[in-house]
Amino acid sequence: MAIAKAVYNQNLYPKQLEVQPETNEVTGTSQAELSWRVPVHGTVYGAALNYQEELDVLGNALYEKPYNTPPAAPVLYIKPVNTLTPHLSSVPVPQGEEELQTGAALGIVIGKSATNIEVNAAWDYIDGFTVANDISLPFESFHRPPVKQKARDKFCPIGPWVVAKEEVAHPDDVTIEVFVNGKTRQTATTRNLVRSIPQLLADVTEYMTLYEGDVLLTGTPARPPLVQKGDKVQVKIAQIGTLENTIQ
C-alpha cells in the first residue's frame, strides 16, 4: 500500500489515494470507476543517454563525428504539453508511420523550486515519483534535438499517479519493466543510471530552475521495444505502479 496523488474523474486538482503499486489497485474503488487525467502540471524534461548501456551501444561512435566526445553534461530534452496524455489513453501512430519507440522512464516530480541545489539536499526538492512512457518515432542520431520525433501529440503518457517520495525507499534501485500485449519486452533498473537521481537534479538545476510540479524523466533504458497499432503497452515501475496505454 502506498500514498499517491492523482487527478481523475471530474477533479481538476490532485486528490490523495491509497494505491497498490504491485497490482495498480486503488483502495475503496475499482479501476473501472476512475477516469484518469495527467497527474502533473509543470514542464516535463527528460534526460537522454542516462543509462550506461545506451552509451555502450553507441560505443566508438561517441568519439566520432558528429559527437567527437562523450557527453559531459546531462543531455536534456523537453516533452511539451501537447504530448501529455494519461493512463489508459491511446497513443496515435502518425499517418505514414509504422512503428513507435517506447521510452520507459521513472519521473521525478519536483516539490518546490530547485535552483543550483546540492547533491545531498536533492531529496528535499522531490515531491514524489511517477511513471512515464516517452514515445518517439524511432530515431538513430542524437545530434539534433529530436523535436519532430518526440514532440508529437500524446507522445508522453504519464501516470497513473504520483507516489509520495517517502513510499519509495531507494528510487536509484527500482526495476522498470515494459510489457507489450502482456509479454515482457524490456527489463531495466535505475541502478544503471549514469547520473543518480540526486546527481541529475544537482547537474540540471545548476543552470535551470525546476519548479513545483515539473517532472524530470531520469532516462530511458537502451534497446527500447518498438510497438505498432493495436498493441497494449505497460510500463511497470516497482513501488510506483503500472502505466498502460494502447497504440492506435
- Interface with another protein (CB under 8 A): 43, 45, 48-49, 66-69, 71-73, 75-78, 80-83, 94, 115, 142-148, 151-153, 207-211
Specify the residue, 1 or 208, whose C-beta has the smaller distance to another protein.
208
Provide, rounded to whole angstroms, the least separation between the CB of residue 116 and another protein. 9
Looking at beta carbons only, is 1 or 73 nearer to another protein? 73
- C-beta of 20 vs 248, nearer to another protein: 248
In whole angstroms, the minimum distance from the beta carbon of 118 to another protein comes to 17
Shortest separation between residue 123's beta carbon and another protein, angstroms:
21
Nearer to another protein, 20 or 115 (CB): 115
Distances (CA, A) of 224 to 101, 188, 205: 6, 10, 28
What's the closest the beta carbon of residue 243 comes to another protein, in angstroms?
A: 21
CB of 18 to another protein, least distance (A): 32
Q: Which three cell numbers stand for residue 186?
A: 524490456
Nearer CB in complex with another protein: 51/234: 51
